[in-house]
Structures are given as C-alpha cells and as structure tokens.
Amino acid sequence: MGTERHTAPVELLIAKREAAGLTQSELAARLGEYQSFVARLESGERRIDVVEFLNLAEILNFDRGRAVKKTLVS
C-alpha cells in the first residue's frame, strides 16, 4: 500500500467510517461518489487528496488538524 504516510490516513478513514456506523455505500452517497470510490480509497489503490480529506473530516466528524498531526507528521 505504501509508506506509513500513505497507510495512516487510510487506516484513519476506515476506523472513523466504522465508528460512525457507515457502510462504504453510505459514505460514498454522502460524498456524492460510488461505493467503488470509497473501496479504492480504503484499499490504498487511490490516495486521498486534500479536498477529499477535508470532506471526509466533515462527514465523519473528526478534527482534521489533529488527524494530520497524528497520522501524517512523524
């Protein structure tokens, strides 16, 4: 999947989606995307861009600044 900087946001996404009780399909609908889009993000096949990360933080209700510090800055 890649480096820790690549895998950490993916792990965060999965954990936050599951904690919110959402399926991939439900999250995709909130993003205005297909389920396969979320599946590609979660599998690491596709990287999460900044705008998507901000949208995910809003939808999944997590502090984006804290998440960046925790998952991306080492």
CA atoms of 20 and 25, how far apart (whole Å): 13
Are 13 and 22 within 8 A, CB to CB? no
Backbone angles phi, psi at 33, to 5 degrees: -125, 175
The DSSP annotation for 26-58 comes to: HHHHHHTS-HHHHHHHHHTSSPPPHHHHHHHHH
Q: What pLDDT, on the 0 to 100 scale, is given for residue 68?
A: 86
State the total domains in the chain: 1
The CATH number assigned to the domain holding 23 equals 1.10.260.40
pTM of the model: 0.87
Domain holding 45, by residue range, is: 4-72
Residue 74: is its pLDDT beyond 60? no
Are 38 and 28 within 8 A, CB to CB? yes
**pLDDT, tens digit, for every residue of 9-59?**
899 999 999 999 999 999 999 999 999 999 999 999 999 999 999 999 999
